[in-house]
Copies of this chain bind each other. A is one copy, B any other.
Amino acid sequence: MNFKLLIQYDGTDFHGWQVQENERTVQGELERVMALLEGRDVYVCGSGRTDAGVHAEGQVANIKLKKQFTPEKLRAAINGNLWRDLRILSVEKAADDFHARFSARSKTYLYRVVNTPVISPFWARYAHHETRPLDVNRMNDASRLFLGEHDWSAFCSAQSDSENKVRTITDFSVESHWDARAQALIIQFRVTGNGFLRYMVRSIAGTLLEVGRGEKDFDTIQTAIVGGNRYLAGATAPAHGLTLLKVYYE
């Protein structure tokens, strides 16, 4: 039986999604628990990797099990063996050919920034702290430059192992709202696309932060997108501001 899992994790204390020897990872934790429940090794197939420190409010994975479980029992059994920073929110039976990675059509990421002199302890783990004033409207305007199908060579890790760096960004907005707990504005970059290269969202976020501080102009961004020159892009923004919000299927 093939099961689809909806997963949340606070990425602070994980070395990312992918299994690594001697490191605590999300996939590693889930495979440890599945081996306990199933009595054999089970591959936990995620929609994609997330880097160390990146959070997920809506990661999706699938697992193929031989033992019989109802979705509710399976969810309770997995969660009962996890620390509180990793949770299966829901489990559902999936078609045999459902594959969390290959069946994914698009993904939405959020990059959160708290723009204030002092960052609240309640956001310090989940948002990047920027003390210098940011021009949200200018960042939102600049976000439109990233829409469409492009080769993202300028906005990914030099170690990216994807040969094809063409991806399509379908939606991108930058908005801010007052947060009572932060007692500050939280700025959210929300980007949706059919796929993302390693560091791509953080590299775009870092570029937009430079736009927001008035340090980068639109022409430079346009040139970077067209020409693929990584030195024209901004610095990669820190991992802990990034959250995988949702994975879309069908």
| Residues on A facing B (Cβ under 8 Å) | 8-10, 55, 57, 75, 79, 84-90, 117-122, 124-126, 180-181, 183
Contacts of A75 in B (CB 8 A): 117-118
In the bound assembly, the distance between CA atoms of A118 and B122 in angstroms comes to: 21
A181→B118 contact, CB < 8 A: no
Contact of A124 among B84, B120, B121 (CB under 8 A): B84
* Given A57-B181, A181-B57: A118 and B84 interface contact (C-beta under 8 Å): no
| Subset of 28 A-B contacts with CB under 8 Å | A8-B120, A8-B121, A8-B122, A8-B183, A9-B121, A10-B121, A55-B122, A57-B180, A57-B181, A57-B183, A75-B118, A79-B118, A84-B119, A84-B121, A84-B124, A84-B125, A85-B121, A85-B124, A87-B119, A87-B120, A87-B121, A87-B124, A88-B118, A89-B118, A89-B120, A89-B183, A90-B118, A122-B126
Contacts of A8 in B (CB 8 A): 120-122, 183
A122→B10 contact, CB < 8 A: yes
- Known pairs A10-B122, A75-B118; list 11 more (Cβ under 8 Å): A8-B122, A8-B183, A57-B181, A57-B183, A75-B117, A79-B118, A84-B119, A84-B125, A85-B121, A87-B119, A87-B120
Return A242 CB to nearest CB of chain B, in Å. Answer: 14
Determine the main DSSP class of A at the interface with B: loop
Contacts of A84 in B (CB 8 A): 119, 121, 124-125
A72 closest partner in B (C-beta): B117
In the bound assembly, the distance between CA atoms of A126 and B55 in angstroms comes to: 17
Contacts of A57 in B (CB 8 A): 120, 122, 180-181, 183
In the bound assembly, the distance between CA atoms of A122 and B87 in angstroms comes to: 10
Contacts of A86 in B (CB 8 A): 121
Contacts of A87 in B (CB 8 A): 118-121, 124
In the bound assembly, the distance between CA atoms of A232 and B28 in angstroms comes to: 47
